[in-house]
Amino acid sequence: MKENEKQNLYETFNAVIESIIKEKKGMEKYEDLLNEFDARINMGLQISDDYYFWMNLVGKDGEFELSRGRLDEYDLEIKAAPEDLMYFSNGENSVLHMVFKKNQFGDRKLRFSKGTTGYNLGLLLKLPKILVLD
């Protein structure tokens, strides 16, 4: 994958996640969830059978930042193909669909593993509330 393709992929996901979070900040029902969310999440976008483009989402005190690269200290790690994560974010694919169905590489559409701080599966349950459009 060329560097400009990586940058385009990062910018696309950054714009999508920023717009979803901005929209949810304006909704009273998400105010507490966003302000209390304190996590560092590694997100691996599966580009081919053996290549992942890594990004990380850091949320603390209602502020969120998506960056390129993989964090050494993190709370949760998820892996998905870019198109599957987009369908998840726009609400087309449910959590159950993402966890049980397979992608074009033969892997589960959404795979997750514990972070360096433990399992933190509660974050996995909060993630759709933050990253999925209403």
Task: Give pLDDT tens digits for 81-96.
Answer: 999 999 999 889 998 9
Percent of the chain with pLDDT over 90: 87
In the three-class reduction of DSSP (H, G, I as helix; E, B as strand; rest coil), residue 18 is classed as: helix
Confidence at residue 121, expressed as pLDDT on a 0 to 100 scale: 85
Task: Give pLDDT tens digits for 46-76.
Answer: 999 999 999 999 999 999 999 999 999 999 9
Which superfamily, per CATH, for 3-131?
Answer: SCP2 sterol-binding domain (3.30.1050.10)
Confidence at residue 10, expressed as pLDDT on a 0 to 100 scale: 97
Task: Give pLDDT tens digits for 96-112.
Answer: 999 999 999 999 999 99
For residue 4 the two structure tokens come to 């400009």
pTM above 0.85, yes or no: yes
Tokens 């603390």, residue?
60
> Is the model's pLDDT at 125 over the cut of 90?
no
List the domain boundaries for the chain.
3-131
Integer-rounded Cα Rg, in Å, for the chain is 14
Dist. CA 32–CA 4, nearest whole Å: 37
